[in-house]
Structure 1
Amino acid sequence: MTPSDDPAAVPPRGQRVRDTIAQLRERILGGEWPVGGRIPTEPQLVAALGVGRNTVREAVRALAHAGVLECRQGSGTYVVSTDELAPVVARRLTDDRTAEVVEVRRAFEVEAARLAALRRTPDDLAALDDALAAREAAWRGGRVDEFVEADAALHTAVVAAAHNRMLAELYASVGTALRRTIATAMGDTLEPERHVDHARLVAAIRAGDPERAAVEAGAFLEPPPGA
């Protein structure tokens, strides 16, 4: 009998799930799947980790419950944190506190834009161009939900270009609240007067102008009237 044929050589289900969680965490901490990025699909994880679908599903569910991963309907599963601090921030912002969320976004995004102008790489600039183009295409398409995702993706790309891992983790933790504030600002339809041009923000980052980038990032992040 070979070791693989020996039932005693196969870890019990609970242990397999724990081992799979550890493997997923290791890849996240190692940067293979960065904060804000999407992890491989379930079949791909099954093949890569050598475990069954149910084991992968339970491990992903556990990490989602812990606030490390976020499952987005129709889009995939994304890394939103590498530790327990960011989920605490996310839970703090689950209530209807639009003004506070905007203030937190401003604190994050203004500094991120400033750092991005100083640290951006050619790959970052390409990602920003792609995200800006996708945002404008989503606006022209007229679907609020698609525009919200595209707008959030552009802001996330700016934060990524800052190359500050802690900032990226904290920003990812407010992803749900971020989308809610964008959706609230847009309303039920994409009206022309609500469109905000982000091309100047990207241009300031490209030009390596941290002060102008910070100004552009903060210009559209004012608290709602009466807040």
Structure 2
Amino acid sequence: MADFSNIKNRLLAQEVEERIVSYIFSEPIPVGGKLPNEFKLGEMFGAGRSTVREAVKSLVSKGMLEIRRGSGTYVADNSRPLEDPLGLGGIEDKISLALDLVDVRIMLEPGIAGLAALNATKEEIITLEKLCDLVEKKIKNDEPYIQEDIQFHAYIAECSKNKVVEQLIPIIDTAVLMFVNVTHKKLIDETIMTHRNVVEAIKERDPVGAKTAMMMHMTFNRNMIKLLEKEK
């Protein structure tokens, strides 16, 4: 699971990195301008301080930011582009991109959930239940839950025991990040319900039930994105 955790953490840091750059351009913050501290940035982007720190460190290594000890973080160069492992960063219409990503998830994740129902070990199911509980707890406490949501979906993929599926984790993770950011947590009740239904079906070794529950989860997501697309 450590490899999956590393992938998820990198993707989350990349998302925060992109949002920091967008923030710099939208304010705008000129070269020499100071950024908010890590705590404030974490609040702005719904991310933990360690994730913000990694995103800032990456931008420092690219020459875009500089850290002045005892003073803070400053813009050093506002013209450098971000790296984009999936080649999606240049797409400006994030709602359209989110719709494309959820369509890909519909192709993949119900089947992945079905495999997990067949192949997950008892220990993995216990871990999956704990992840489901953690997402629900954070949602109800109005705490940032993106990282745990990503981990939940990635762990279902790991439980599938399919080595090709493992290579698709970055696509799924990127789609989860994009959905939460685009919808601004509009489907929290539906997320809790459908996550729980997926876990119960996997626990009962019911691949059809797991596929159906995951499809319901994806359908809620897609309908919300379609609604946002009509409103834009």
Using the size of structure 2 for normalisation, the TM-score is 0.56
Contact 1:118–1:210 (CA under 8 A) maintained in structure 2: yes
Query: After superposition, what is the alpha-carbon deviation per residue over 1:189-212, rounded to whole angstroms, capped at 9, x for unaligned?
Result: 667655541111101001111001
Within 5 Å, give how 1:28-39 maps onto structure 2. Answer: 33-34=2-3, 36-38=4-6
In the alignment, which residue of structure 1 is the partner of 2:226?
Answer: 225
In the alignment, which residue of structure 2 is the partner of 1:55?
Answer: none
Contact 1:116–1:163 (CA under 8 A) maintained in structure 2: yes
- Distance in 1 separating the partners of 2:108 and 2:98: 15
Where 1:90 maps in the other structure, the secondary structure is coil
Q: State, as a whole percentage, how many aligned pairs show the same letter.
A: 17
- Distance in 1 separating the partners of 2:210 and 2:190: 21
Cα 1:74/1:217, change in 2 over 3 Å: same
In the alignment, which residue of structure 1 is the partner of 2:86?
Answer: 90
Gaps of 5+ in 1: 1-31, 40-68, 78-86
- RMSD after superposition: 3.0
In the alignment, which residue of structure 1 is the partner of 2:209?
Answer: 212
AA matched with 2:226: P
Cα 1:37/1:120, change in 2 over 3 Å: same
In the alignment, which residue of structure 2 is the partner of 1:126?
Answer: 126
AA matched with 1:167: V
Contact 2:11–2:173 (CA under 8 A) maintained in structure 1: no
Gaps of 5+ in 2: 14-48, 55-82
Cα 1:194/1:207, change in 2 over 3 Å: closer
- Distance in 2 separating the partners of 1:207 and 1:74: 37
In the alignment, which residue of structure 2 is the partner of 1:201?
Answer: 198
> How much has 1:178 moved relative to structure 2?
2.1
Give the number of equivalent residue pairs: 153
- Distance in 1 separating the partners of 2:159 and 2:182: 26
- Distance in 2 separating the partners of 1:191 and 1:200: 15
In the alignment, which residue of structure 2 is the partner of 1:6?
Answer: none
AA matched with 2:5: G
- Distance in 2 separating the partners of 1:168 and 1:206: 21
Cα 1:191/1:217, change in 2 over 3 Å: closer
Cα 1:89/1:116, change in 2 over 3 Å: farther
AA matched with 2:165: L
